[in-house]
Chain A
Amino acid sequence: MTAYVIRRLLLLPITLFGVTLFVFGVYSFLEPGMKAALYVRDIPKTADALDRIIQKYGLADPFHVQYWRWLNQVFRGNLGWSKTAQRPVLDAILYYFPATVELVLWAAIPVLFIGIWLGILSAVHHNKPIDHASRVFALIGWSFPSYVYGLLLLMVFYAMLHWLPPGRVSDWVIKEINAGTFREVTRIYTIDAIINGRPDVLADVFKHMVLPVITLAYIQWALLLRVTRSSMLETLRQEYVMTARSKGLAERIVVYKHAARNAMIPVATMGGMLLIGLMNGAVITETVFNYRGMGWWAANAATQLDIISVLGFTLFNAVILSLGILFIDILYAVIDPRIRLE
């Protein structure tokens, strides 16, 4: 397995090179005038405005010159300037990523535990009211756009009831951060609140997290529930499960000890993909709840054709995804001893 892991890690730079080449290649289809237009918010007021921008940023240079210029800076640790985030790309990643990690991790907990539990419950009580209720619940999650119910939640629990506000923290926490009375150690505020010994900040973070977590979790929740249910149904029909039952084992042991472990193999693969799905889902959730994370940044940069930002987070996402997929592969081998990574 070690050799496999090393080989996969060695392939990473090639993957990254390919990804950046692809993104830059797509960008090169834009003519210099179009690229320059991205730098002006309004109509160019003087005749030479666009020409000056083209010259200044070398937008008319050949593809390989522009790509090499960018790559050269990347090797020096400079990923460029993000016009969308108004800060260096690397700073933007370090600034936004912890926010998204925090959101995704909090969303992952209910997704994994409740999704799997409901899936098992649904399979065990196949075609009974609890199964029907779970399926309806999953169907709603699938068919209801997260954008819409995110806004509905916001209208009810924020605009009407004033309970759960949008954003990441309240203004008073921001003031404390600015004043230096609350230290940002990890920028994952739930952890920072514990490090700072501030239960009031922790409560405020949770208050802001409830609605985005529910919104983000719901679709993935429904997805995992359905996968767990079908995998569990299939496993419960296996002969070894019937054997276990005929041996007189308690139903709880049959279900949770014998059947659930094997049913978890596809779920584990799905679980890894779910984390990726949560990262993608963060785009909408972060926009609706004014939660500044990677998703918000990515969406804005892409719509504004902020190519330097797009390249930066594509590079970063490629690293995260490659490592994530590698982790899933390893997890797969651990759960199912028949699988050997070579």
Chain B
Amino acid sequence: MWRKVLVGAVIGLLGILGWAQIPNPDTMIVATIGDLETLDPAWAYDTASGTAIFNIYETLIFYDGEYVDKFVPMLATSWEISDDGLVYTFTIRKGVKFHAGGDLTPSDVVYSLQRALIQDRAGGPIWMLLDPIFAVHSIEELAEKLGSDEAVYEALQKAIRAEGDKVIITLDHAYGPFIQILAGTWASIVDKEWVIEQGGWDGTANWRPWHDPAAEASELFNKANGTGPFKLETWVPGEYISLVRNENYWREPAKLARAVIKVVPEWGTRLAMFQAGDADIIAVPRQYVAQMDELVAQGKARMMGPFPSSTCQSGFFNFYVTEGSPFMPLLGGEPKPDLLSDIHLRRAINYALDIDTYIKEAWLGEAWQLPGVIPQGRLGYDPTQPVYSFDMEKAEQELRQAWGGQLWRQGFRLTITYNQGNLARKFVAEMIERALESFNAKRQAEGFRGMFVIEVQDLPWPTYLKYMDAGQLAVFFIGWLEDYAHPDNWVKPYMHSTGAFAMNQNFDTVKNVEFAPVYATWLPAKTYDNLQALFDELIALASRETDFAKAEKLYLELNRLAHEYAINVGHIQLLARHYEQLWVRGWFYNPAYPGEYFYVLSKG
């Protein structure tokens, strides 16, 4: 008996000791899925690169804790915005040193932003800076506009300049989200002299050789010298990146001595690392949440959330499918490229989608439906605005009205596409297919022969993007991850003629649109040539509006119009969860962060 008690006590004690012992107490280990693409802040446009960069480099201003619309000074001690919203003046912090020993100066700030603008790699993030500063989407477009590379250089000197301890940025037009854009990793501040030593742009008018480099051709591809709380120790591509504490940091040095981000694409391996205590934080794909919840229930892990994330999933209607498309819609057996320009059909599809079931089944309940296009947490989001709820009666009413009743009588064919392997998108597409085709029995009973045929088609990602880019998809499901935490980054891609999705949706097919403001009542009622013209004007007004209250009304107006015109179907905001070891301290959620901000974290 006593032997049993003794053995039990020893085992218990060992267990307690084992549990109490925190592995690598001053090192935070994150096991994630994907590797970074580069360490060059001007080139990077993925969250994995962003995570490393925002721990090494710093921007003029930064998000205040959990807030995405409040900012704290970082490398700028203060900033002022002129009344017309065109001139931003930043006072640069003194006494800040780069990791390699150089002093931060206003000249470094000017150089960093100018370097980012001239680099402007294809498919990169710099369009966000080019748009407000020069009203162009690429530096080449600016060169064409101004006529020469020298003229571009001169324009750069005028737009971003240093005066004493200040840096002044002059915009082409007032732009509300500019401050958010300056908080992104693409606006990180580098050490001018050090970058030039590494073979970077020398700051002269001969900028072409440094324009649009391949990732590996950038001088900062695998080197880093920032002012941030951590210094680059090692990056072994495909394996891990390790950062060490910057002991000469201008704020209090970080609590952690080291941070390591390991690339572990296989979920089982990541889970095993977490269970063994070799990873403090791991990336948990949605389908594995239940496994982690089991650990949480056993008191072996902590879950934080769910939080409204900065990612939405939506179905997009193309109002005019480009000729030659293999997905051309048919009405009564005849090609009908503008089939979806009929609002009744779009509304019918929205009513026919059982969105609650979609969220419950495909997203395990970790999402919510949005009115309009702006997600929760951004200006212009209003939960009291209406949404399309599942209602087959309303769907039928709308279908009977579509194309003056022709659609109900003659039937139609429509292809819904999604990218191969995305099961949630497949699920929602098939739900719509089943719901709309269920009307065929009733139609046949009424004596109509043509069928409602909905085809669900998956496409490999490159093919999908190619068809989307060519405006050849009729209905397509895809997701959007916010670039900057501002409603402009939602209304633009979803509604503006140059937006990533809207440019493939041909809203200009809807002509003579009458607009009567509901929220922005100071605007006159007006008839626009087409729907796109209305959207473009309101988006421009909203982004240039310096009065916060007025900007909010404009975004509410845009959100209302997105719903009224039913430009999307199944627009939902995903929720995010965070799982960590019980010994992790200090974590909080900020949807604008690309990943873990190690400065606020510790173990204990």
Contacts and interface: CB of A to CB of B under 8 A. Distances in A.
Given A53-B122, A81-B216, A166-B273, A41 B461 contact: no
B8 interface: no
Contacts of A44: 123, 465, 469, 500
A342 interface: no
B46 A42 contact: yes
Given A41-B46, A158-B276, A84 B466 contact: no
Contact of B462 (A30, A49, A171): A30
B238 A288 contact: no
Contacts of A145: none
Contacts of B268: 151, 154-155, 288
A296 to B, nearest CB: 8
Interface in A281-339: 287-290, 292, 296-297, 300, 305
Contacts of B262: 290
Contacts of B266: 287-288, 290
A300 B265 CA distance: 10
A39 B462 CA distance: 10
Contacts of A40: 123, 465
B271 interface: yes
A56 to B, nearest CB: 6
A31 B472 CA distance: 15
Interface string A73-85: 0000000010111
B122 A297 contact: no
Given A154-B268, A159-B271, A52 B465 contact: no
Contacts of B137: 46-48
Contacts of A42: 45-46, 481
B123 A53 contact: yes
Is the interface on chain B under 10, 10 to 19, 20 to 34, or 35 or more residues? 35 or more
A132 B52 CA distance: 56
A300 B238 CA distance: 10
B260 interface: yes
B271 A46 contact: no
Interface string A57-90: 0000000000000000000000001011111000
B103 interface: no
A83 to B, nearest CB: 8
A188 B226 CA distance: 35
A162 B276 contact: yes
A166 B266 CA distance: 11
Contacts of B261: none
A310 B552 CA distance: 51
B272 interface: yes
Contact of A159 (B45, B276, B481, B493): B276
B292 to A, nearest CB: 13
B177 to A, nearest CB: 14
B260 A33 contact: no
B14 to A, nearest CB: 12
Nearest to B38: A86
A287 B123 contact: no
Contact of B465 (A37, A154, A165, A288): A37
Given A33-B462, A37-B465, A43-B500, A166 B269 contact: yes
Contact of B237 (A37, A52, A87, A159): A87
B82 interface: no
Contact of A50 (B215, B242, B272, B469): B469
Nearest to A52: B122
Contact of A35 (B37, B216, B234, B462): B462
B536 to A, nearest CB: 14
Interface centre among A49, A83, A178 (most CB of B within 10 A): A49
Contacts of A292: 238-239
A297 B238 contact: yes
Given A85-B237, A154-B269, A288-B269, A47 B216 contact: no
Interface in B20-65: 24, 35, 37, 45-46
A39 B123 contact: yes
Interface string A13-41: 00000000000000000110111111111
A159 B301 CA distance: 14
Interface in B239-292: 239-240, 242, 260, 262, 264-266, 268-269, 271-273, 275-278
Contact of B269 (A49, A50, A289, A305): A289
A83 B46 CA distance: 14
Nearest to B216: A81
Contact of B466 (A37, A41, A49, A154): A37
Nearest to A151: B268
A154 B272 contact: yes
Contacts of B236: 174
B233 interface: yes
Contacts of A35: 462
Contact of A46 (B138, B215, B481): B138
A171 B37 contact: no
B179 to A, nearest CB: 20
A46 B498 contact: yes
Nearest to B235: A86
B478 A43 contact: yes
A30 B463 CA distance: 9
Nearest to A30: B462
A108 to B, nearest CB: 24
B272 A48 contact: no
A45 interface: yes
Nearest to A41: B46
Interface centre among B215, B462, B463 (most CB of A within 10 A): B462
Interface string B436-464: 00000000000000000000000011110
Given A166-B273, A305-B462, 5 more contacts: A37-B461, A39-B123, A155-B268, A171-B24, A178-B242
Nearest 6 A-B pairs (CB), nearest first?
Answer: A86-B237, A52-B122, A37-B462, A34-B462, A33-B466, A159-B275
Interface of B: 24, 35, 37, 45-46, 122-123, 125, 127, 137-138, 212, 214-216, 233-234, 236-240, 242, 260, 262, 264-266, 268-269, 271-273, 275-278, 460-463, 465-466, 469-470, 478, 480-481, 483, 493, 498, 500-501, 503
21 contacts: A31-B466, A36-B462, A37-B462, A38-B462, A39-B123, A43-B500, A44-B469, A46-B127, A52-B138, A56-B122, A83-B215, A154-B269, A155-B268, A158-B276, A166-B272, A174-B236, A178-B242, A290-B262, A290-B264, A300-B238, A300-B265
